[in-house]
């Protein structure tokens, strides 16, 4: 898999966080759109990225998430990781129900990023 830049890696991670509980709420979509507006102030076509994510089998999600967490880590500062952590937390809480698997992925991200 080709390394992603920080912004694309973050998009993949948020999309997977929204999918792992098999429920995608409008509130989660708002958080993702907010992230995109901050990271991509210009118009960007993410169709190819969405195609990659949509083509994944659930059994591939964990490895894909870990890969993009590492890509994000490699291209980000501690402050950027903290800012993204806040987006991820906001996303998993958006539908008022943090599932066990959402929490696992969130914790996995923090572990990869060496966050407490």
pLDDT recorded at residue 83: 96
pLDDT in tens, the chain (116 residues): 789 999 999 999 999 999 999 988 999 999 999 999 999 878 778 899 999 999 999 999 999 999 999 999 999 999 999 999 999 999 999 989 899 999 999 999 999 999 97
CA distance 104 to 110: 10
CA 7, 11, 12: angle at the middle one, nearest 5? Answer: 120
Residues 6+ apart with CB under 8 A from 31: 14, 87, 90, 91, 94
Q: Which residues contact 66 (CB under 8 A, 6 or more apart)?
A: 108, 112
Hey, where are the domains in the chain?
6-112
> Quick one: tokens of 92?
């998993």
DSSP 99: -
Class of domain 6-112 (CATH, top level): mainly alpha
Tokens of 110: 């923090």
Collapse the DSSP code of 70 into the 3-class scheme (helix H, G, I; strand E, B; otherwise coil) and give the result. helix
Q: How far is CA 62 from CA 58, 59, 69, in A?
A: 8, 7, 10
């Amino acid at each position: 898999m080709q390394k992603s830049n920080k912004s694309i890696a973050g998009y993949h991670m948020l999309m997977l966080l929204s999918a792992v509980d098999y429920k995608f709420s409008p509130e989660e979509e708002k958080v993702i759109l907010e992230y995109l507006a901050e990271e991509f102030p210009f118009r960007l076509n993410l169709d190819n990225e969405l195609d990659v994510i949509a083509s994944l089998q659930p059994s591939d999600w964990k490895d894909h998430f870990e890969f993009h967490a590492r890509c994000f880590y490699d291209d980000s500062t501690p402050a950027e990781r903290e800012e993204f952590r806040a987006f991820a937390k906001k996303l998993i809480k958006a539908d008022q129900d943090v599932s066990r698997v959402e929490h696992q992925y969130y914790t996995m991200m923090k572990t990869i990023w060496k966050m407490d």
